[in-house]
Amino acid sequence: MLFLGLVFYRSLPYGNTEQILAALFFAIVISTALVLLLVQVITRPLGEFARVVRQLAQGNWNARVKYRNQDELGEVARSLNDFSDKIRETVSALEESKARLEAILVNMESGVLLVNSSGQVVLVNPAAEETLGILLRDILGKSQVEALQNYSLSSLISMVFSEWQIQSAEISLFYPEERILEATAAPVLGEGEKRSGVVVVLYDLTRIRRLERVRAEFVANVSHELKTPVTSIKGFAETLLDGALYNHRSAEEFVNIINEEADRLSRLVNDLLELSRIEFRDVEPQLIPLDLTSEIKKIIDLLEPRFRKKRLSLKAELPKQPVIVQADSDMIRQSLENLMDNSLKYTPEGGQVMISLLPGQEEVVVVVKDSGIGIPAEDLSRVFERFYRVDKTRSRKLGGNGFGAGHCQTHCQCPRWPRLGRE
């Protein structure tokens, strides 16, 4: 601009001071105007850039620079917009991955907890909260020893920190309830292979261990139940072979005993086979319209002599009109006979047994109630467990084997059949 002023100055007559000053003033004004215009052209997009950067810093990933010129600043604007798009895609992918991880942790049946490198619990999923009887908000930031309050679990985590290898152990809990857990603890590596913590997965083995114990008890119970009639049959058969066969009176008595024990053995084997078929879903219920009132009356007529023999009062509260249900006649009869047989066995002489039929709008309830010894509260949770007997000595004496529980559970849990209950 000064160059323009000088050119204008040289074109003026020599020695004219006013004209020289005017030329210089004109040059300064034009230079200032052009500089201000240039500054505005440059600073306006820079301000736009600053605005977009601030919005990105605040988490607004949709912010865009609106500068569209094809110069260097336009190239910077396009690069900033591309960078914003990449950040938005990355954050969206991270949020989606976080949501999936949270959904997995929330819905996992196994407990998961995370301990950071400082030994503080920083993550606990709902399954672990329920299993360990803790809440994340109560233990967040506490040391794992203080938060978990379980020596075996804390020792397992400490072992991983010291040896930096995966460790597994079976631990026992006594609070909030007695449980057996399989705990697997593994080291967690952060950026640059930095040790960032330990993750622990807890798998509840309580049910599995209980089933294993039930199977062991079942083998022992069945072995005893089968051994008793077999021993009797063999003993009396040997007695007959040793000479009692020629004693007509003794022979007849022994043969009757052998026949009774053989019948008992047959019933045990049939019960086992029946339960096995039910367990493996080989038995398909034959659902037919069935008058439950009539079926209960038949069972009462069948069992009444046995109740009378034991001097038990057997009463029934049945509707006068038929109660029609869709059910398998044989299975319903077997379930009711099991319930009433229990009442017969475990009600002392002079007691009462009541069977009631309570029809509802969508279900039918059959209740067998007796004045017998009942079931202790601690055994109620196992009442439908296969082969479980509350008083094993008394059950064996009375001929119980626990098979009825398996039958009743299988029959009573199907929503298409009447619900049966015993008090």
Q: Spell out the domains of the chain, with CATH numbers in brackets.
A: 2-98 (no CATH), 108-204 (3.30.450.20), 209-279 (1.10.287.130), 288-422 (3.30.565.10)
Strand 121-124 and strand 111-116: the pairing is antiparallel
pLDDT at 175 over 70: yes
Report the pLDDT value the prediction gives residue 281, as an integer from 0 to 100: 60
Full-model pTM: 0.50
Report the pLDDT value the prediction gives residue 218, as an integer from 0 to 100: 75
Distance CA 412, CA 403 (A): 14
Among 57-71, 222-236, 387-401, the range with the most confident prediction by mean pLDDT is 222-236
96, two tokens: 């989606």
pLDDT at 185 over 90: yes
User: For 279-313, what is each residue's pLDDT tens digit?
Assistant: 666 567 788 898 998 889 988 888 888 888 888 88
Which one is predicted more confidently, 210 or 205? Answer: 205
- The total of other beta-carbon atoms located within 10 Å of residue 121's CB is 25
Report the pLDDT value the prediction gives residue 142, as an integer from 0 to 100: 86
pLDDT at 143 over 90: no
Strands (E), 245-331: 288-291, 313-317, 324-327
User: For 380-399, what is each residue's pLDDT tens digit?
Assistant: 777 766 556 666 554 444 44
Among 51-55, 87-91, 185-189, the range with the most confident prediction by mean pLDDT is 185-189
How many CA atoms within 13 Å lie on the side-chain side of 233?
14
Distance CA 324, CA 18 (A): 125
User: For 30-42, what is each residue's pLDDT tens digit?
Assistant: 776 666 555 555 5
Report the pLDDT value the prediction gives residue 415, as an integer from 0 to 100: 36
Which one is predicted more confidently, 413 or 134? Answer: 134
Report the pLDDT value the prediction gives residue 172, as an integer from 0 to 100: 87
pLDDT band for 6, please (50, 70, 90 cuts). very low
366, two tokens: 């059959």
| Mean pLDDT of all residues belonging to the chain | 77
User: For 85-122, what is each residue's pLDDT tens digit?
Assistant: 888 888 888 888 888 888 888 888 888 999 998 888 88
Report the pLDDT value the prediction gives residue 225, as an integer from 0 to 100: 76
Report the pLDDT value the prediction gives residue 78, as an integer from 0 to 100: 78
